[in-house]
Structure 1
């Protein structure tokens, strides 16, 4: 734990950073989504039963876990992390209770860089799955009955959002302790998770090899410790609906060129 605390104190803020804004915007644009700065999601880390409030950490499969929420850019590195939430807490509750959300709302996390899509102004956005709220700064897929244009939009968003799922796969593949039910005090586990995220960024940034065997082991462990399903959030802010519809219409027009 002394080593972990030292890594977090010295390396975390230097390693888990915003990265190059123009490079990241260009990377997501090349993948099909304009003015996008990152993809957000949560993943569950199995733990031993905590000494206090254990029922808050257990999921419907009967094992205990903590949640790591992370924002990832197109190359699979972490921009922002928030570790330690009890396993029963929904992603939609974690996100608005983080410093990331407050900074995004205040316009201090990303530069104020807007583009025009159709007749709509669009700020820099992040991408989430259906469990996140639709907001002008957070785009998510359409849900319910989908026509071809909505499905095409969802496919583009999903392709870009895969970056965060791949990052979690590499994180757990390299640092197998994250699947070993960490035998630590519950207030020490977030420290270890943060260290693994820091080391992940160092490995990814230096092009360290990631083998298929590790990925196969992660998939095996995922089957043993199944991630809990979360319900989709159906509410949306009016400005966000206009932005998403404008993006869908632009995507549809591009597909017919």
Structure 2
């Protein structure tokens, strides 16, 4: 710590101690004045009022000095080299597809659709997480069964930031894209499409899958599937082109 900062810190402690002592003295004088006032000693009450005003002014001055201490913020050092220079600049479509479950072009299209609702402002402590990285963190966590801490280390952010990013992106997807991507469509076109594939009078293909979850603290037995692990069931309905027309989770 620099000498000036050390001196400032010591003076702050001294000033704070004086404030506490002065406050205790004021309380003692106040109690004495209350007792004497009960016996009709008005002079003492007047003296106490003057002393209180004087001491209050002194306390205000001391508080002003105490608040003058320079505040500093700190954060753990993290690295974003992997995301900035490897993923964005080196990875090809096969690596994107293998890790993010979509090609880079699809990722950019998704980002363009979600970015208007993901804008964040910088603070005095640090710059806001970029929208590209926010979407990438959410897709990585949703596509790979990894811990928040591991994902945070991968992208150079804290694990709490990962949790917030996942929830924000998921909520924006539900708000902006769910009604556009998951639609019933034209029933007759779907029927004709399945008939051309050899499935007449078919309005959709339905299937389900188990999504592994951590066992909840209460009513955990309701989430154990027939294979013996905790999960929720995702049921989907698609048309003849494989587009989602209905989903049901949980």
TM over 0.5, yes or no?
A: no
Q: Which has the higher helix share?
A: 2
| Greater relative contact order (Cα < 8 A, sep 6+) | 1
Structure number with larger C-alpha Rg: 2
Q: TM-score, normalised by structure 1?
A: 0.31
Higher strand share: 1
